[in-house]
C-alpha cells in the first residue's frame, strides 16, 4: 500500500468539502488540509472569520502557544497575509493555492 504524499493530500483537499465526509467531516478535512499545507483548516477558518489572540487560539484549538506560532509561520508560507494588532491575529488575504478551498 502506498502512503499519501503532500501532493495527494492537496488534490484531495481541493476535490472534496468537509460536508461530504460525514459527521466527523470537519475533523477529517482539517487533518487532510494540515497534511497538505502544514496548518489545520480549522485555524485558517477561525482567523479568517474573526480576530483572535494567542490565548484564544490556544483555548479554541487546544494547542500549545509554541504550536500556534509554528502554524502562524506556516500560514504565511502558504501565501496568506496575517495581520496583527492589539486585538490579535487575523488573516487579511490568502494565496491563490489555498483560497478556493477556504472560500
Give the span between the Cα atoms of 37 and 98, in whole angstroms: 9
pTM of the model: 0.81
Residue 74 lies in a domain: yes
Residue 79 lies in a domain: yes
For residue 92, what are the domain limits?
Answer: 6-102
Q: What mean pLDDT comes out for the span 56-71? A: 94
Position 85 pLDDT exceeds 80: yes
Phi and psi torsions of 32, nearest 5°? -60, -45
Position 69 pLDDT exceeds 90: yes
Instruction: Provide the CATH number for the domain around residue 42.
Output: 1.10.10.10
pLDDT at position 82: 92
- Report how many domains make up the chain: 1
pLDDT at position 103: 65
Percent of the chain with pLDDT over 90: 48
Give the span between the Cα atoms of 65 and 102, in whole angstroms: 24
Position 75 pLDDT exceeds 70: yes
Residue 1 lies in a domain: no
Amino acid at each position: 500500500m502506498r502512503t499519501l504524499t503532500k501532493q495527494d493530500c492537496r488534490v484531495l483537499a481541493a476535490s472534496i468539502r468537509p460536508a461530504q465526509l460525514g459527521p466527523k467531516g470537519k475533523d477529517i478535512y482539517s487533518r487532510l488540509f494540515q497534511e497538505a499545507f502544514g496548518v489545520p483548516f480549522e485555524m485558517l477558518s477561525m482567523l479568517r472569520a474573526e480576530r483572535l489572540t494567542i490565548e484564544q487560539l490556544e483555548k479554541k484549538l487546544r494547542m500549545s502557544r509554541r504550536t500556534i506560532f509554528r502554524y502562524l509561520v506556516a500560514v504565511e508560507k502558504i501565501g496568506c497575509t496575517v495581520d496583527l494588532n492589539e486585538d490579535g491575529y487575523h488573516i487579511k488575504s490568502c494565496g491563490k493555492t489555498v483560497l478556493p478551498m477556504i472560500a
